Amino acid sequence: MAALIYNSIASLDGYVADTDGSFAWAEPDAEVHRFVNQQEEGVGTYFYGRRTYETMAVWDTDDWLDDAPPHIRDYARIWRAADKVVYSTTLAAVTTDRTRIERTFDPAAVRQLVDRAERDVGLGGPTLAAGALHAGLVDECSVFVVPVVVGGGTPWLPAGLRLDLDLVEERRFAGGVVLLRYRTRR
């Protein structure tokens, strides 16, 4: 059975972007990236909000990949092989293959899609994740905690959320990043 997995990279104080909207401090090193690639091999579909989709769409272009290291090229291959669903009321058209737009986030339809999926479904973007978390749709939350405090910005978890979790994996990387992976309690 497929799971809906919210993956994120966040600062120690819980932000995915700082007050300027930057997340340059979150760029994973090669060790973390290779681990992410291993995790993402199991994903068949990604759900994104518009801003996250626009950020991720770079993985569908080749012009910068020729000189990229193998772990970067591997991620591009993984990302391209998956289907993408963008939840947006403002995006006019998609620019990547295997991608469609949904104008509304319907929790019942999302649950059906995940339940019918043969492979896991990745959930990207804190705004979209907030709706899925509040609706009780998320099966796992996984966060790579970066050793930086940014003092404010876009939180990786929404305000007002109560969620009971079971820790299923923790891992420390040489550069100081820590992975925490939790399964939600039903």
pLDDT tens, 58-113? 999 988 898 999 999 999 999 999 999 999 999 999 999 999 999 999 999 999 99
Q: What is the pLDDT of residue 116?
A: 96
Q: What percent of the chain has pLDDT over 70?
A: 100
* Mean pLDDT, residues 33-58: 96
pLDDT tens, 131-184? 999 999 999 999 999 999 999 999 999 999 999 999 999 999 999 999 999 999
Sheet holding 4-11, edge to edge: 99-102, 83-87, 43-49, 120-124, 4-11, 140-146, 178-184, 165-172
Report the CATH fold assignment for 4-143+151-184: Dihydrofolate Reductase, subunit A (3.40.430)
Distance CA 162, CA 13 (A): 18
Q: Where are the domains of the chain?
A: 4-143+151-184
Q: What is the pTM of this model?
A: 0.95
